[in-house]
């Protein structure tokens, strides 16, 4: 299902893939694809002929920057979970303890609260907690080879370019979030 076109652009081999090549489609980076809001782009995202790569990257990065209140990075999972819980207190590991800590913070600032569990429904006690276990949801590949020739390496790089671009934008956004969170903490 693959052919090599003789013409090379900018020194790169120009492998042409059948859009129905299921192995190639499985290797496409899905982070960028999952950030698309345009149905037309989403449908084109699995085309391994790469007709609109930059448009896909641009929309995915724009959506990452403009459509999400807070993001996280799996390679910085502890910081991600901690920041989510700080920004969204209802995601605390234990809501009862979080409400008591919040009440203590208000007390320390001179704001008196009659009910130190003010943020919870009357009579509620968190007995389950909200743990955040890490589990890899990956699955074993159903096609492919263990031999990585130049063509396969080229395909892997090409198929993951969009995710690399999205990851770079996500790291930039995450670092900015951490700065904002640090400023917030300093203001308390």
Site of tokens 């276990």: 133
Cβ atoms of 140 and 32 within 8 Å: the answer is: no
Site of tokens 């990065």: 61
**60 vs 2 pLDDT, higher one:** 60
Q: What is the pLDDT of residues 105-123, one digit of tens each?
A: 888 888 877 776 667 888 8
Under the phi-then-psi rule, with left for phi > 0, alpha for psi from -120 to 50, and beta for the rest, what region is 143? Answer: beta
The pLDDT assigned to 114 comes to 75
Residues near 55 by beta carbon (within 8 Å), at least 6 away in sequence: 41
b/e string for 1-36 if b means 16 or more Cβ within 10 A? eeeeeeeeeeeeeebebeeebebbbebbbebbbebb
Residues near 81 by beta carbon (within 8 Å), at least 6 away in sequence: 72, 132
Top-confidence range, 14-23, 45-54, 146-155, 172-181: 172-181
Cα separation, 34 vs 31, in Å, equals 5
Q: For residue 79, how many other CB atoms are within 10 A of its CB?
A: 15
**49 vs 65 pLDDT, higher one:** 65
The pLDDT assigned to 22 comes to 60
**158 vs 138 pLDDT, higher one:** 158
């Amino acid at each position: 299902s693959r052919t090599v076109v003789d013409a090379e652009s900018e020194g790169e081999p120009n492998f042409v893939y059948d859009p129905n090549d299921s192995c190639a489609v499985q290797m496409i980076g899905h982070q960028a694809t999952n950030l698309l809001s345009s149905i037309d782009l989403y449908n084109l995202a699995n085309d391994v002929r790469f007709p609109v790569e930059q448009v896909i990257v641009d929309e995915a990065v724009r959506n990452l920057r403009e459509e999400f209140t807070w993001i996280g990075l799996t390679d910085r999972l502890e910081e991600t979970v901690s920041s989510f819980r700080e920004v969204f207190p209802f995601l605390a590991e234990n809501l009862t303890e979080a409400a008591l800590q919040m009440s203590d913070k208000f007390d320390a600032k001179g704001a008196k609260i009659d009910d130190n569990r003010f943020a919870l429904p009357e009579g509620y006690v968190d007995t389950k907690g909200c743990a955040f276990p890490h589990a890899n949801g990956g699955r074993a590949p159903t096609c492919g080879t263990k031999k990585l020739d130049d063509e396969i390496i080229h395909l892997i790089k090409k198929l993951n370019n969009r995710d690399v671009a999205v990851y770079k934008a996500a790291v930039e956004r995450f670092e900015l979030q951490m700065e904002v969170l640090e400023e917030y903490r300093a203001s308390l």
